[in-house]
């Protein structure tokens, strides 16, 4: 199985006529068993089509055309319009929203997340590449064109969660090369406030029988790793976790932002070394090199199943 999406998941692309969105739509349609992209929304473009996907002015029109609730939406509209687009999706019954857009002020993100919570919807991102279930479906630009995605991702027992979109693919490719496929890989976004953190996705992986271990990519900045460490300790999770921490050099450079908007050392608690210590305390192995991850997670899974 998988988390969040499967071969039956229907979704729309908001902002579908944009250059990147057109590519993303093609990629999703081509990958795995072919995503069910049931519509696209760009105001003023009703009646067009993008790679055979009908375009509507509103989400409501897309839902009416589909004659059933739509599961998800990939939002790729400019930052100033993202909040409205996400509100529109949520108020039209969409339950899973992947926000690709970068540079959205965090007040807007917080408002979107709070409305989603009220309506029982979930947000992935912003500033993320989406979700992929190897050989089945991808929702978002993750892994790129179908051919490239198929090269990096293979089905298997590992859940991948990453603050960096590109590193989601790099790590999954390394796992695949070592014979460890992925149940689902999620690019959660690099901003200071995001819809779904590690700890918020863990219960889904915990409930997924296919998943036997978790690999995460993390960076300095924020307290999401502390939240994960707490979750793992409190819930006594069945899933072993291996983490990779990039940006260790940033500990020497407080106040400087590198890589992603949320990646900045602001206090003692969000340094790389502090996070590594916290993760280790919770029994999470922190890898120094990506190529060490496959053997580490394999050993941890073996250890758990022996116990």
Partner 1 sequence: MRFFEYEAREVVKRAGIPVTDYGFTTDAAEAREIAQRIDGPTVIKSQVLSGGRMKAGGVKFADTPEEAESHAREILQLEIAGHMPRGVLVDPKAEVEQEYYAGVVWDGIRKQPVMIFSPVGGIDIEQVAEEQPEKVGRRHFSNILPLSDFEAKEVIAATGVTGSALNKLVPIVKRLAQLFVENDMVLAEINPLGRLADGSFVALDAHMDIENEARGRHKKLLADLGVGDEETRQAREATPFELAGEEVDSQDHRGVAGNVTEFDGNLGLVIGAGGGSLTLFDAVRAHGGKPANYCEIGGNPSVSKTCGLAKLVLQKPGVEQIAVMMSIVSNTRVDIVARGVIKACLELGHDPGEKIAIFRIPGAWEEEGFKILEKYGVDYADRSVSLNEAARRAVEKIGGASA
Out of 262, 282, 294, 301, point to the residue binding partner 1 (CB under 8 A): 262
Rounded CA separation 153/5 (Å): 16
- Of 51, 65, 66, 260, the catalytic one is 260
Contact pattern for partner 1 over residues 187 through 206, marking x by CB under 8 A: ---x-xx---x---------
Out of 49, 84, 91, 114, point to the residue binding partner 1 (CB under 8 A): 114
Rounded to a whole number of angstroms, the minimum distance from the CB of residue 165 to partner 1 is 8
Between 208 and 219, CB nearer to partner 1: 219
Rounded CA separation 247/140 (Å): 26
Length of the chain counted residue by residue: 307
CB atoms within 10 A of CB 232: 22
Instruction: Name the DSSP letter for residue 291.
Output: G
Size, binding site for partner 1 by CB under 8 A: 65
Rounded to a whole number of angstroms, the minimum distance from the CB of residue 56 to partner 1 is 26
Nearest by Cα to 77 from 38, 150, 116, 24? 24
Contact between 250 and partner 1 by CB under 8 A: the answer reads yes
Contact between 173 and partner 1 by CB under 8 A: the answer reads yes
CA quadruple 239, 31, 84, 109: dihedral, nearest 10: 30
Out of 119, 223, 274, 285, point to the residue binding partner 1 (CB under 8 A): 223
Is 66 assigned a catalytic role?
no
Site for partner 1 in 122-141 (CB under 8 A): 141
Between 22 and 66, CB nearer to partner 1: 22
CB atoms within 10 A of CB 80: 12
Out of 246, 279, 284, 286, point to the residue binding partner 1 (CB under 8 A): 246
How far is residue 247 CA from its own chain's centroid? 20
Q: Which residues contact 269 (CB under 8 A, 6 or more apart)?
A: 223, 226
Cite the active site residues: 260
């Amino acid at each position: 199985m998988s988390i969040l999406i499967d071969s039956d998941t229907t979704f729309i692309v908001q902002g579908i006529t944009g250059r990147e969105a057109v590519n993303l739509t093609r990629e999703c349609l081509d990958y795995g068993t072919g995503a069910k992209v049931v519509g696209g929304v760009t105001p003023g473009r009703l009646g067009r089509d993008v790679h055979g996907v009908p375009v509507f002015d509103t989400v409501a029109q897309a839902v009416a055309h589909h004659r059933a609730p739509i599961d998800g939406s990939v939002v790729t509209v400019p930052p100033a319009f993202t909040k409205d687009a996400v509100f529109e999706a949520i108020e039209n019954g969409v339950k899973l929203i992947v926000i690709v857009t970068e540079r959205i002020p965090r007040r807007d993100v917080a408002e979107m997340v709070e409305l989603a919570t009220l309506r029982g919807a979930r947000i992935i991102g912003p500033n993320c590449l989406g979700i992929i279930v190897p050989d089945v479906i991808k929702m978002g630009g993750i892994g790129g064109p179908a051919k490239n995605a198929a090269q990096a991702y293979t089905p298997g027992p590992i859940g991948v969660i990453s603050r960096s979109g590109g590193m989601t693919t790099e790590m999954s490719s390394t796992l695949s090369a070592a014979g460890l496929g992925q149940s689902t890989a999620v690019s959660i976004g690099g901003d200071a406030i995001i819809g779904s953190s590690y700890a918020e996705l863990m219960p889904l992986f915990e409930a997924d029988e296919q998943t036997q271990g978790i690999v995460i990519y993390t960076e300095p900045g924020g307290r999401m790793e502390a939240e994960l460490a707490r979750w793992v300790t409190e819930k006594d999770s069945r899933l072993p976790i291996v983490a990779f921490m990039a940006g260790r050099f940033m500990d020497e450079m407080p106040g400087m932002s590198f890589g992603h908007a949320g990646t900045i050392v602001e206090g003692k608690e969000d340094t790389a070394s502090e996070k590594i210590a916290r993760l280790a305390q919770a029994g999470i192995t922190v890898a120094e090199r990506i190529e060490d991850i496959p053997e580490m997670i394999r050993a941890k899974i073996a250890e758990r199943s022996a116990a």
